[in-house]
Amino acid sequence: MVNERMHGLGAEPSAIRELFAYGMARKAEIGDENVFDFSIGNPSVPAPDAVKDAALALLEQPAVSLHGYSPASGVPEVRATIADSICRRFGIEASPENIYMTVGAAASIAISVSAVTEPGDEVIVISPYFPEYKVWIETAGCTCVEVPAHVPDFQPDIDALAAAIGPKTSAVIINTPNNPVGAVYSRASLEALADLLSTKEAELGRELYLISDEPYREIVYDGIEVPYVPNVYARTLVCYSYSKSLSLPGERIGYIYVSDRMDNAAQVVAAVAGAGRALGYICAPVLFQRVIAACVDEPSDVASYAANRALLTEGLAALGYEFVEPQGAFYLWVRALEDDAQTFSDRAKAHELLLVPSDSFGVGGWVRVSYCIARDTIERSMPAFKALMEEYRG
Amino acid sequence: MVNERMHGLGAEPSAIRELFAYGMARKAEIGDENVFDFSIGNPSVPAPDAVKDAALALLEQPAVSLHGYSPASGVPEVRATIADSICRRFGIEASPENIYMTVGAAASIAISVSAVTEPGDEVIVISPYFPEYKVWIETAGCTCVEVPAHVPDFQPDIDALAAAIGPKTSAVIINTPNNPVGAVYSRASLEALADLLSTKEAELGRELYLISDEPYREIVYDGIEVPYVPNVYARTLVCYSYSKSLSLPGERIGYIYVSDRMDNAAQVVAAVAGAGRALGYICAPVLFQRVIAACVDEPSDVASYAANRALLTEGLAALGYEFVEPQGAFYLWVRALEDDAQTFSDRAKAHELLLVPSDSFGVGGWVRVSYCIARDTIERSMPAFKALMEEYRG
């Protein structure tokens, strides 16, 4: 006997991870250049030189203090640097005490959900949504309530959210810029959401938290505005990660910022620390805590992703594919050529195209195409996309 | 409202962390050299040069693959290297598939407990025990059952364990070399424990897992044998960490090894992967995965701790303190000079001696004295220990 839920989660990896693993095996079989792997969000842009420079400099420091434990919430100077950066960039009086360093965005969200819910509560996600949200919500003993985004702009559907919020609702998770559709929530959308949450708080007599998952904050196109969520809704926990902005997904480094504008911020900060402890986190990896402090205002290389986006969207449009024009992140949400996304993904595989079916994101009929890959792969994949289209359209 | 349990865990940090935080504040107040901080297990021995050399060399590799995601279970070559080392050192046919890289020992134990229990089960710990075990057991929805160690040798008390194992028991956590008492479980003790577990498995008709927490494996004195637990009991999960052996506690790197000799190893491996996913772990930090692979057989600097041990035990013995002679790890378990360990710890504080009271380890009347500190601090602390003794003995 082992834990049944854990066994299920381990034996059936996420659709993304499964396709990624298939891709690795397939590349070993027929050669890297013959597989068009659009499965995972592993940045193709290298970490900036500043990351390497900072790491090399840090490694010259005395090893005992360099590699020793940090407080559970993080190295004090690192938290101060991040708080200062938030303050400068977003005009909010961020306190270092409200920053809790984490082992990446996944840890940030798992900890945040466990901190602000009780078992039996409901947490709302906006579909399509990153599938692991549901896993972490269920770890907290809560129910994942899926509310479809407004179509065709994939902004939050305020009426649908109003209908879904009830006496068991504790939190809403949003992700803007969005994985998988690439939508960036407008200021108007966020303000409408904030109004709704405030109204419902008063109506229900309970706190409603907004958990804002923001690893793609810096990756946006055409100069679009990404409003800072704590400036729009006070009861916000920002879950940030440097995985995408600094191309460090494997180093697992990010933070939770509990908005200073929240009336019960100190209580939430304590619950976050407790949840981190309960889930087995001691502190975030200390070398990379210090690396990101040194690189806190390093710009992300958006130009590469913008070029990929143009190449992919122009190519697929010319072939007759339908998709959502992404405003941010590095995923293209493409309409499957048949209702069953899994079958479509399987048929794409026969052309060596690895496209993640939309079902695990909470909706049918689409695939997610990650374009944080080598430009050359996108170029060379076009004949395969063409053949796939011809197979369907004859 | 926030989660009540999480708030409690965050608002009331562990006794160890609390004393550590007090020490940091006190040092800022009266100077580092005036506080004798025996609170935390932060190694005073620097990481070996091989760690720095490996990190510097790795940082010259292309950043995209260096810092990219690894599979959830770890970098394949790293797992192979560790499996090979286990095989060479302990003569067990360890498979890379049975190694799951973790964000340190805390993650290893939290994941292991969640993997092999169902909510409502019981997990046995041998007191005195590392206090966070109880936190992680309760996160899995289980009950922590404390069974006192055999006194005065602090080996497992087989009769007491036999009485404690029942139809809800899923696992026993052991920690050898032991934090806090420094005992190393003998081969005879482990064999008796294995016999008991096998008998009880047959009697109860359910699997009984042994979770072996081994961060101090390499830190032992006088050439004492540390038997490899999977060689003694098949249904063992080894929770290893490089925090102590390579002095990297802040980098959070370790692994779980699911014994190949376990009849349901594949099932447990899947449950471990699922539990890691459920608790928000994506992969262990990749740079340090590769660093530890490069340093897998690097010897630990035990000599420094041995010298500290001699200095401390000789000094305290001469002053009339009673303690358990440690065979491994770097903690001295000292009898408090009154029944109430908390009061004793508070009175020690007045002499600037930071000694962790035993209560949160599950027993009253002792303090834990970490001697992984600067030798000089131990030397200079002796007058304070003397004054404390005189205060009690008059």
Which residue in B8, B52, B271 is closest to A10 by CB distance? B271
What is the number of other CB atoms lying within 10 angstroms of the CB of residue B187?
12
pLDDT, chain A, mean = 96
Tokens in use for A294? 């040194």
pLDDT in tens, A7-24: 999 998 788 888 988 998
Task: Please list the alpha-helical segments (H only) found in chain A.
Answer: 4-11, 15-30, 49-58, 63-67, 76-90, 105-116, 132-139, 158-164, 187-204, 229-232, 265-278, 286-294, 302-318, 341-349, 375-393
Q: CA torsion angle for A40, A44, A50, A52 (degrees, to 10)? A: 80
The proportion of chain A whose per-residue pLDDT surpasses 90, expressed as a percent, equals 94
**B46–chain A Cβ distance below 8 A for any pair:** yes
The DSSP symbol for A328 reads: B
CB contact under 8 A, A270 and B55: no
Residue B14 has pLDDT above 90, yes or no: no
pLDDT in tens, B49-78: 999 999 999 999 999 999 999 999 999 999
In Å, how far is B270's CA from the nearest CA of chain A? 5
Residue B394 has pLDDT above 80, yes or no: no
In Å, how far is B92's CA from the nearest CA of chain A? 23
pLDDT of residue B41: 83
Average pLDDT, integer, range B278-298: 96
Residue spans of the domains in chain A: they are 4-46+301-393, 50-294
Domain B50-294 in the same topology as domain B4-47+301-393:
no
* Partner residues linked to A126 by β-bridges: A147
pLDDT of residue A321: 98
User: Phi, psi (5° rounding) for residue A215?
Assistant: -70, -20
pLDDT, chain B, mean = 96
Separation of alpha carbons A202 and B179, rounded Å: 50
pLDDT in tens, A308-358: 999 999 999 999 999 999 999 999 999 999 999 999 999 999 999 999 999
Tell me which of B5, B7, B59, B375 to substitute to probe the interface with A (most A C-beta atoms closer than 10 Å).
B7
Average pLDDT, integer, range A14-43: 91
pLDDT in tens, A282-317: 999 999 999 999 999 898 889 999 999 999 999 999
**B377–chain A Cβ distance below 8 A for any pair:** no
B-proximal residues of A, 230-249, CB under 8 Å = 247-249
pLDDT in tens, A213-234: 999 999 999 999 999 999 999 9
Average pLDDT, integer, range A131-143: 97
List of chain A residues whose C-beta atoms are within 8 Å of the C-beta of residue B107: 280-281
> Please, how many CA atoms are within 13 Å of residue A115, restricted to the half-sphere of its CB?
32
pLDDT of residue A109: 98
Separation of alpha carbons A318 and A389, rounded Å: 11
Residue A42 has pLDDT above 90, yes or no: no
Which residue in A40, A63, A115 is closest to B3 by CB distance? A115
pLDDT of residue B282: 93
Residue A40 has pLDDT above 90, yes or no: no
B20 contact partners, CB below 8 Å, separation of at least 6: B37, B39, B40, B354
**A349–chain B Cβ distance below 8 A for any pair:** no
Chain A: residue nearest B134 by CA?
A278
Residue B20 has pLDDT above 90, yes or no: no
CATH class for the region spanning A4-46+301-393:
alpha beta
pLDDT of residue A196: 98
Tell me which of B20, B277, B370 to substitute to probe the interface with A (most A C-beta atoms closer than 10 Å).
B277
Q: Would you identify the CATH topology of the domain B4-47+301-393?
A: Aspartate Aminotransferase, domain 1 (3.90.1150)
* CATH code for residues A50-294: 3.40.640.10
Alpha carbon distances (Å) from B193 to B187, B189, B264: 10, 6, 20
Residue B13 has pLDDT above 90, yes or no: no
In Å, how far is B200's CA from the nearest CA of chain A? 15
pLDDT in tens, A258-270: 999 999 999 999 9
- For chains A and B, count residue pairs whose Cβ atoms are closer than 8 Å: 267
pLDDT in tens, B328-382: 999 999 999 999 999 999 999 999 999 999 998 999 999 999 999 999 999 999 9
Chain B: residue nearest A70 by CA?
B250
pLDDT in tens, B144-190: 999 999 999 999 999 999 999 999 999 999 999 999 999 999 999 99
The proportion of chain B whose per-residue pLDDT surpasses 70, expressed as a percent, equals 100
How does strand A209-213 pair with strand A169-175?
Answer: parallel
Predicted confidence band of residue A57 (pLDDT cuts 50, 70, 90): very high
pLDDT of residue B231: 97
CB contact under 8 A, B9 and A273: yes
